[in-house]
Amino acid sequence: MNVAVRLGTIQLEDGRVGGHDAGATLVRRLLRLFPDAQVIGPERRAGDVDVVPLEEVDGSSTVVVNMDVIDSVAVWQTLARRCERPQVMNLVWWNPSRYTRTVDVAALALSCALFPTFCNSERTATEVRETVASWAVPRLAGRARIAWVNLGVRLDHVQPRQEPPVPVVLYPAIYVSDRKRPDLFLRVVERVAARTPVRVEGRLHESHLVTERAMALSRKEWAWFGPLTASRETYWESLARTTAFLATAEEESYGLEYVEALVAGAVGIFPDRPWVAGIVPEGYPFVYRTAEEAESMLLRAVTDPASCRAEMDRAAGGDFGAWLRARHDDDAFDQAVTARLREWFGVGASPVPAGS
């Protein structure tokens, strides 16, 4: 049984999968796990990645891992024109709560009830189960197969720390949408910048880089907002000199960029939201309820990061870095998704070469 990955917004650059968001990262990870996997696109393309239209996929010998979960029924129907028993697996890598319209929520529930569904975190899996239980008929909801594991990060990409001469505060997202609450971020860092020297940095998706919000952020003399880094290596190099970040999002399914920054040694300041519990240990010291608390914590993080990291170590039982690595290593994701594809569809994966 072969694998084909489907993500409608996939970017192909010089025959390879481009992009820096969680979706592109997941596609590359699946291609690393399954070297012979195809990518589903609008037309055939030559290159390092085998791109094939959905209409040409042989559903009898290929599992379609669909990351656009809401339309898995349509994917199945397309495959069913060429085979009797199409194989489709959902991969949910975002918040199910992003859908609010009745038709969308019902379509999501039906999709996750009909097809085996793999989620990028426990929180996402819980939301999926609740959606299926509430919206799908009992006959289907009772048969739902839903699994999860933390998405995790590539620990071998972490670079040695390089403390900057002026503390660097990261805007930990590539979008400035309402859900990320960039206005709260700006309000807090403005007050901190008025009290101590800082440099605020952000790297945004091109579609958000030219928005009014992004312009308002970049107009500050102590701030720099630019395009996404050209490579993963330069991305991790920038994280290695990041002092702290201020998370302001209302909702997250996992929080890949936060975990990457924490693993790189940045002090993370988080809002008091349920999703945070999936990232940091219980009793983590830098969780704020108000903008004033966020300001106080961020000020301390940029003026005394060593003592902040010591507190993070104590919250994790002695070594915060080791705690993170044990819970957010992408090896766990690789093993879990491989096991589920084998269990659900009989797919086998080739070993991943060291350092790939």
pLDDT higher than threshold 90 for residue 78: yes
The helix (H) or strand (E) run that includes residue 125 is: helix 122-135
Same structural domain, 167 and 284: yes
* Number of compact structural domains in the chain: 2
CB 333 within 8 A of CB 29: yes
In whole angstroms, give the CA distance from residue 89 to residue 147: 11
Q: Stretch 297-319: mean pLDDT, rounded?
A: 98
| Averaged pLDDT score across all residues of the chain | 92
Position 83 in a domain: yes
Determine the pLDDT at residue 244.
Answer: 98
How do residues 162-221 score in pLDDT, each as one tens digit?
999 999 999 999 999 999 999 999 999 999 999 999 999 999 988 888 888 888 888 899
Q: Which residues contact 274 (CB under 8 A, 6 or more apart)?
A: 123
Same structural domain, 321 and 336: no
pLDDT band at 350 (very low <50, low <70, confident <90, very high): very low
Counting Cβ atoms within 10 Å, is residue 293 exposed (0-12), middle (13-18) or buried (19+)?
middle
- Taking alpha carbons only, the member of 287, 340, 355 closest to residue 125 is 340
Position 270 in a domain: yes
Same structural domain, 122 and 9: yes
CB 338 within 8 A of CB 306: no
Same structural domain, 10 and 143: yes
CATH number at residue 317: 3.40.50.2000
Could you give the C-alpha distances from 7 to 82, 110, 215, 267, in angstroms and in order?
21, 19, 30, 33
Q: Are strands 62-66 and 87-92 parallel, antiparallel or unpaired?
A: parallel
Same structural domain, 305 and 161: yes
pLDDT higher than threshold 70 for residue 156: yes
Determine the pLDDT at residue 11.
Answer: 76
Same structural domain, 40 and 82: yes
| Residue in this structure with the two tokens 């170590």, named with its chain if needed | 313
Determine the pLDDT at residue 352.
Answer: 45
Q: Stretch 284-301: mean pLDDT, rounded?
A: 98
Q: Which residues contact 33 (CB under 8 A, 6 or more apart)?
A: 334, 337, 338, 349, 350, 352
Same structural domain, 95 and 114: yes
| Residue in this structure with the two tokens 């958000």, named with its chain if needed | 208
Q: Stretch 50-56: mean pLDDT, rounded?
A: 92
How do residues 224-275 score in pLDDT, each as one tens digit?
999 887 677 898 999 999 999 999 999 999 999 999 999 999 999 999 999 9
Query: To 10 degrees, the CA torsion angle through 199, 200, 202, 207?
Result: -120
* Domain containing residue 180: 155-327
Same structural domain, 215 and 311: yes
pLDDT higher than threshold 80 for residue 10: no
Position 356 in a domain: no
Determine the pLDDT at residue 15.
Answer: 67
- Please tell me the least confidently modeled range out of 11-25, 37-51, 187-201, 286-300: 11-25
Same structural domain, 98 and 206: no
In whole angstroms, give the CA distance from residue 232 to residue 323: 23
Determine the pLDDT at residue 88.
Answer: 97
Same structural domain, 284 and 138: no
Position 352 in a domain: no
Same structural domain, 144 and 201: no
How do residues 105-136 score in pLDDT, each as one tens digit?
999 999 999 999 999 999 999 999 999 999 99
CATH number at residue 51: 3.40.50
Position 273 in a domain: yes
Residue type for 234, please? T
Position 351 in a domain: no
Q: How far separated are the first and last CA of the chain, in Å rounded?
A: 23
Q: Looking at per-residue confidence, does 50 or 352 come out higher? A: 50
Same structural domain, 69 and 124: yes
% of the chain at pLDDT higher than 90: 75
Determine the pLDDT at residue 337.
Answer: 95
